């Protein structure tokens, strides 16, 4: 018999303490332990991005991370991006630019995009960046959002939505 394991974690600004099965992924912890069902399970193996969350400022595939390994971490899910009924700038832009169709990948896309804006600010390179500067914005976004599959094919609109917000910020 393998023991449950204690966990202290902050999700969307709220601290949680729980005894959990060490096998539980961060994704299943959010969905099944905290009832935060915004993050989605599209593949459960880090191959689609629907489960993307922001952990300590960096986006990760929450399906491939054990919840117990996030002791003391700060996690943001899609539920943590709007302020009450005020959507974040990216959330608004996704609606305006029709950056989704079925919407299943959308929580992951938006969490990913939220972290992406910070990565650009931080100057983190991507494979399309030159040694000394970033590539043209849309090309950077296309590459950096390639970890979030969208079977409906909203890619162009996702780029437009992110670009509109990144443009506002720069």
**Lateral strand order in the sheet of 58-61:** 14-20, 5-11, 74-76, 52-55, 58-61
CB of 15 to other proteins, least distance (A): 19
CB of 121 to other proteins, least distance (A): 13
The answer to whether residue 146 forms part of the interface with other proteins (CB under 8 A) is: yes
- Nearest CA-CA partner of 142 in 130, 131, 157: 157
Residue closer to other proteins (CB basis): 16 or 135: 135
The answer to whether residue 82 forms part of the interface with other proteins (CB under 8 A) is: yes
d(CA 102, CA 108): 13
The answer to whether residue 120 forms part of the interface with other proteins (CB under 8 A) is: no
CB of 149 to other proteins, least distance (A): 6
Q: Which residues of 121-160 are buried (b: 16+ CB within 10 A; e: fewer)?
A: eeeeebeebeeeebbeeeebbbebbebbbbeeebbebbbb
Residue closer to other proteins (CB basis): 15 or 146: 146
Site for other proteins in 11-40 (CB under 8 A): 21-25, 28, 31-32, 35-40
The answer to whether residue 144 forms part of the interface with other proteins (CB under 8 A) is: yes
d(CA 14, CA 74): 9
The answer to whether residue 134 forms part of the interface with other proteins (CB under 8 A) is: no
Residue closer to other proteins (CB basis): 103 or 121: 103
The answer to whether residue 5 forms part of the interface with other proteins (CB under 8 A) is: yes
The answer to whether residue 133 forms part of the interface with other proteins (CB under 8 A) is: no
d(CA 60, CA 47): 12
Among 110, 120, 165, 166, binds other proteins (CB under 8 A): 110
Tally the residues of the chain. 170
Task: Decide if 63 contacts 43 (C-beta within 8 A).
Answer: yes
The answer to whether residue 64 forms part of the interface with other proteins (CB under 8 A) is: yes
């Amino acid at each position: 018999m393998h023991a449950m394991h204690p966990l202290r974690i902050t999700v969307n600004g709220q601290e949680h303490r729980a005894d959990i099965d060490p096998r539980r992924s961060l994704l299943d912890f959010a969905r099944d332990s905290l009832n935060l069902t915004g993050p989605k399970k599209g593949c459960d193996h880090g191959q689609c991005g629907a489960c993307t969350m922001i952990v300590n400022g960096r986006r990760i595939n929450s399906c491939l991370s054990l919840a117990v390994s996030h002791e003391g971490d700060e996690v943001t899910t899609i539920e943590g991006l709007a302020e009450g009924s005020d959507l974040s700038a990216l959330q608004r832009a996704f609606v305006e630019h029709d950056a989704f169709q079925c919407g299943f990948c959308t929580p992951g896309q938006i969490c990913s995009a939220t972290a992406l804006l910070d990565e650009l600010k931080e100057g983190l390179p991507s494979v399309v960046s030159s040694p000394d500067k970033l590539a043209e914005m849309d090309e950077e976004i296309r590459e950096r959002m390639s970890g979030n599959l969208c079977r409906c094919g909203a890619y162009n609109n996702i780029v437009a939505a992110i670009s509109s917000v990144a443009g506002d910020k720069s």
